[in-house]
Amino acid sequence: MDLIKRTLPIWISTLVVVIVGSASAWWWTPAEPSPPPPPNLATALSNLLLFDDPEELERLVIFGRPIVDTDNWRAEHFFHSERAQEVCAAISAHDYQRLRRLLRESGVDCNLRGEGRAGLTLLHWAYAEHDLEAFKILLEAGASPDLPTTDWLLLRTRTSLATGDSILFATLRHGRYDFFLEAFAYSQDVDETGGGNEQLLHVLLAPDEPSNYERFGLSSEDILADMLRTGMTIDIPNKYCSYPTHLAAQNRRTSLCLMLLKAGASPTLENGSGQTIVDILAARADTLSGWNGPGKPREGFVELLIWLKKHDMELPGTLEAVLDESAVAQESAL
């Protein structure tokens, strides 16, 4: 009886999650009915809540399936041209020989805008099929990664396609660095603006590294290094008047903040609240200095403070204390 009392709130929460999830799935079902969710959904959610297993959701079939499959996309929902629908069919079949032949002989414009929902392009279709090879073929054939969507689509894989986002923004927001780098190499406007009046740098400097980035052998540092090599403009504010360096400091991405400064970003800029990088770091000093345990600061934090001090930025006492503690720790290690 005691066990039942202790676990009852958990089981109630599980039931609520399942009901809400089912209602959401029903509400966002497209014109044609989608297949029912996998039978292990309730079990996986229960395991997640009862045993605190964050890997459980990753094993759900729905999250491993392509967007085209999970959201029951049909080419005719997005493209009225029969030729474009044939290209979509070749992509979905992973038939690269046929795809190349269609692009070469059928006269299909690779930059054909979807005449249907959201103004999607053929690149979006390849991305939604999780087909990187088809994605590359389209880029090589002249598909532009810079065309924005015209509407917002909520996807069942816990992601969305935002209004005004090009495929560059979509892949970066979703943490699909493999697709992003391929598209980025073909971009004609690395300073383009996406949904929410954001630049690519603003999206990259979100609070957390996407949980799936390790699958592609890449990190945010790798992506930022590639982006900076293009000579893109760094000091561009977002709609809240926060510059990339402010976002990096605010979101505790200290190694990225240092990379931006070394690439030429100004350390003296103020955000919409009148704060500089130093002000933001000082407000987060306690967290950053003990990120990996007492006396173990976040990677790049000490190096960032040293860079700022060398470039004549006055550090408050809280940040000076971090440098002093780091120096003592290094001496003790010798």
pLDDT for the residue 117: 78
Q: Is 31 exposed, middle or buried (0-12, 13-18, 19+ CB in 10 A)?
A: exposed
Domain count, the chain: 2
Q: Is residue 58 part of a domain?
A: no
Tell me what the mean pLDDT of segment 17-24 comes to.
51
Q: Which of 60-64, 169-173, 203-207, 272-276 ranks highest by mean pLDDT?
A: 272-276
Binned at pLDDT 50, 70 and 90, residue 16 comes out as low
DSSP string, 111-133: TPPPSSGGG--HHHHHHHTT-HH
Q: Is residue 91 part of a domain?
A: no
Measured distance CA(77)–CA(166) in Å, rounded: 19
pLDDT for the residue 1: 53
Tell me what the mean pLDDT of segment 251-278 comes to.
95
pLDDT tens digits, 38-73: 434 444 444 434 334 444 444 444 556 788 888 888
Tell me what the mean pLDDT of segment 192-212 comes to.
82
pLDDT tens digits, 146-158: 999 998 888 876 6
Per the structure, the complete domain to which residue 244 belongs is given by 240-334
Same domain, 228 and 247: no
Q: Is residue 99 part of a domain?
A: no
String of b and e for 283-305 (b: at least 16 CB within 10 Å)? Answer: ebbeebbeeeeeeebbebbbebb
pLDDT tens digits, 235-249: 999 989 999 999 999
Mean pLDDT over the full length of the chain: 80
Decide if pLDDT at 322 tops 50: yes
Decide if pLDDT at 81 tops 50: yes
Which one of 233, 263, 287 terminates a domain? 233
CATH number of residue 311's parent domain: 1.25.40.20
DSSP 57: G
pLDDT for the residue 269: 96
Measured distance CA(71)–CA(174) in Å, rounded: 16
pLDDT for the residue 33: 37
- In percent, the amount of the chain with pLDDT more than 70 equals 72
pLDDT for the residue 55: 42
Token pair, residue 174, equals 């979703």
pLDDT for the residue 21: 53
User: Of 74, 136, 124, 128, nearest to 99 (Cα)?
Assistant: 136
User: Residue type for 133, please?
Assistant: E
Tell me what the mean pLDDT of segment 303-314 comes to.
95
Token pair, residue 240, equals 């809240």
Q: Which helix (H) or strand (E) holds 161?
A: strand 160-161
Task: Check if the beta carbon of residue 278 is closer than 8 Å to that of residue 314.
Answer: yes
Same domain, 158 and 205: yes
User: Residue type for 40, please?
Assistant: N
Q: Nearest 5°: CA angle at 104, between 103 and 107?
A: 70
Task: Check if the beta carbon of residue 76 is closer than 8 Å to that of residue 85.
Answer: yes
CATH number of residue 191's parent domain: 1.25.40
Same domain, 255 and 320: yes
Which one of 233, 251, 284 terminates a domain? 233
Q: Is residue 76 part of a domain?
A: no
Token pair, residue 140, equals 């090589």
Q: Is residue 61 part of a domain?
A: no
